[in-house]
Structure 1
């Protein structure tokens, strides 16, 4: 009899529990429109808090867009300045002649005429330094005073196209031309520093300098040399005159200036033009790829600024998480009431996730707009051309939404785990 009573009581308790569960309404399907309206209402109910929460994401996205945009713009500016000089210079060098070798030199003084015909060449000149072991003291006076040593000024021989090849400017007088080279005229051009050392300040009376005891009329001063700046402290002689008077041999280098973007092609063709059939013996120095340099600079700057932008995003995400968690605590009664009315745990989680995602999305949109404006403003202040990847501006709102979604996961899970009775009791 006792066993039968226990079974009857158990059945009665199970039926009572079933009736209790059946009496509690359950929502099997939650309309997405209701979910959106609840989330929107939860955001707009506390507009000041929502605005402050959104501000964290706005600052993070704005910082990210500005830093990446300014980094790309700065990289473009750096490589543009690099293009102006380094990316348009090519140098072809021949090895020094071997003693006793019967082979003709790889370079000769007619080589620049062959290179000048190549497409993209804007300036070319051949250059030779004084023969090894030959002492060429330079004086500004013919008086041979044993107490005064000649100035230690190098002497070089060059062709008439040297100013264009080194991007120099004739600051006084003129540079020797092809006619002077052909006539073997005894003229000289001084680098601006060499002119100061020798005290040559006025060319009106055709001053002379003495190289190795031989006079040469100074006809010009070359200054503002952008390439091969050592020429500023040299005496420059026509190639034919230096060969006849001082024993200069074949040129050791050919300096080439190209149009922007033509350096690679000229570097490949110049050795063949200078030494047909023997171009492998020449050494060519060409600028690196502009695209490679641009990517390298952009990559370095982007890596630095990306860290700063991500830190700002993390700060914004922490702010969203904190405010959402506080909201969960303050809305405990609302959560309990909704659970009591039949809302499932997933419905509560969806609502808070949607709220945090919406805050992040709005912050991403505002941050992207402010970031683009910031990049343009910085570029305009420095007279730069703004460079901004459109994909970055379009991805910024998505990044804000993802940050908001990630920040709302823990508060949403915590809200969903609240029991209806506990939530109602805590909300009273």
Structure 2
């Protein structure tokens, strides 16, 4: 049998049942399309995740101050020295200790049996730069400033969850909270904290009130840096905060952005690759099932061709080529739909699409291979039929 004759026979067999061939091709379309879409979206989303990781995590430096020092290592005024460092965009000093970690806080002085009398919350003393450094949003009111600190005003800002727990939803009437029996006016509610999310359940007070909560000096300094300056600031910040004693401070700097971004992108790609391969296996099973049914329906044809001199290899080659052609067609259509899907999702999300040209080119080949493997068992079964049994 010549290759051209084999091709004509395979093409005729495929087109003899166009509806069934189209349904079989749909399985490969879904598999290849899912593979291209998942890998393309994984690369695109990974690119976005990496960019956000670099902008947020890789610009954050934290300095912890030991509490067991009679002579303070870091004062509240040390922030001015840190903010003068080149590469520092913002910094805030926080103070929190065991005495301020679990305090009874209630929103009014009335005993209402239908309401919870008090909540156990943490009180964090901070400098006025908290919203900027934590990238938080003031949901209501305002944050305290240098004037409140200078006048020693008895004001506090609640985290979003702390306000909800205390039942404070409006600030027009200047609500108050009572902490350890002392009165403080609530001037703001802070939420959407991208850094230090624990502040959402805390009461934030100015540094001028530190001693009222058993605190004195900062226990932690949070620093935001320009992109790429975190390593440099991590080395300079301790000496700027506590000249001559910076080695007693503990600095936490972000990991290498390049290594972290590569790891995140690799994990995302691996996950979506597995999903795409599973979908591809589903398409292969569909091709195998339909090809097997086709073999069983074409038993008289197989018997007639064998009786006219067709060898086993001719029968096997015909069915293998038919299943490969179906897989090839599915790969071409699936790659096209997948590419359009990636571009469409990127346009809706306003992302920059990331497409691997090699994947789009290899998709039809993969589809043909899937079709070839899926048709292997049905082709062998057809080749093993004896002419007499098939004709009977």
Give the TM-score normalised by structure 1.
0.66
Q: Deviation at 1:362?
A: 1.0
SS of corresponding position for 1:187: coil
Q: Using the TM superposition, name which of 63-72 and 89-98 deviates more.
A: 63-72
- CA 1:255–1:230: 2 relative to 1, 3 Å: same
Alignment counterpart, residue 358 of structure 1, candidates 320, 325, 334: 325
Q: Which residue of 2 aligns with 1:166?
A: 134
Q: Which residue of 2 aligns with 1:185?
A: 151
Determine which structure has more spread, i.e. the larger CA radius of gyration.
1
C-alpha distance after superposition, 1:280-319 (max 9, x if no partner):
6414164783443343344345435543443343333332
Q: How does 1:398-417 map to 2 (within 5 A)?
A: 398-417=365-384
CA distance in 1: counterparts of 2:271 and 2:377, whole angstroms? 35
- CA 1:256–1:345: 2 relative to 1, 3 Å: same
SS of corresponding position for 2:76: coil
Q: Which residue of 2 aligns with 1:396?
A: 363
Is 1:126–1:253's contact at 8 Å kept on the other side of the alignment?
Answer: yes
Is 2:47–2:265's contact at 8 Å kept on the other side of the alignment?
Answer: yes
CA distance in 1: counterparts of 2:304 and 2:188, whole angstroms? 90
Alignment counterpart, residue 221 of structure 2, candidates 251, 254, 258: 254
Q: Which residue of 2 aligns with 1:57?
A: 28
Q: Deviation at 1:402?
A: 0.7
Alignment counterpart, residue 97 of structure 1, candidates 68, 71, 76: 68
Q: How does 1:34-183 map to 2 (within 5 A)?
A: 34-70=5-41, 88-98=59-69, 104-118=71-85, 120-129=87-96, 132=99, 156-169=124-137, 171-172=140-141, 175-177=144-146
Is 1:223–1:232's contact at 8 Å kept on the other side of the alignment?
Answer: no
Instruction: Answer yes or no: is 1:336 the counterpart of 2:307.
Output: yes
Is 2:319–2:379's contact at 8 Å kept on the other side of the alignment?
Answer: yes
| Structure 1 unaligned regions, length at least 5 | 1-29, 142-148
Q: Deviation at 1:323?
A: 2.5
Q: Using the TM superposition, name which of 259-268 and 313-322 deviates more.
A: 259-268
CA distance in 2: counterparts of 1:320 and 1:361, whole angstroms? 15
Is 2:95–2:124's contact at 8 Å kept on the other side of the alignment?
Answer: yes
SS of corresponding position for 2:324: helix
CA distance in 1: counterparts of 2:289 and 2:261, whole angstroms? 41
Is 2:292–2:378's contact at 8 Å kept on the other side of the alignment?
Answer: yes
- CA 1:47–1:247: 2 relative to 1, 3 Å: closer
Is 1:57–1:364's contact at 8 Å kept on the other side of the alignment?
Answer: yes
Q: Which residue of 2 aligns with 1:373?
A: 340
| Structure 2 unaligned regions, length at least 5 | 109-116
Number of aligned residues = 374
Q: Deviation at 1:252?
A: 0.5
Q: Deviation at 1:78?
A: 6.2
Instruction: Answer yes or no: is 1:318 the counterpart of 2:289.
Output: yes
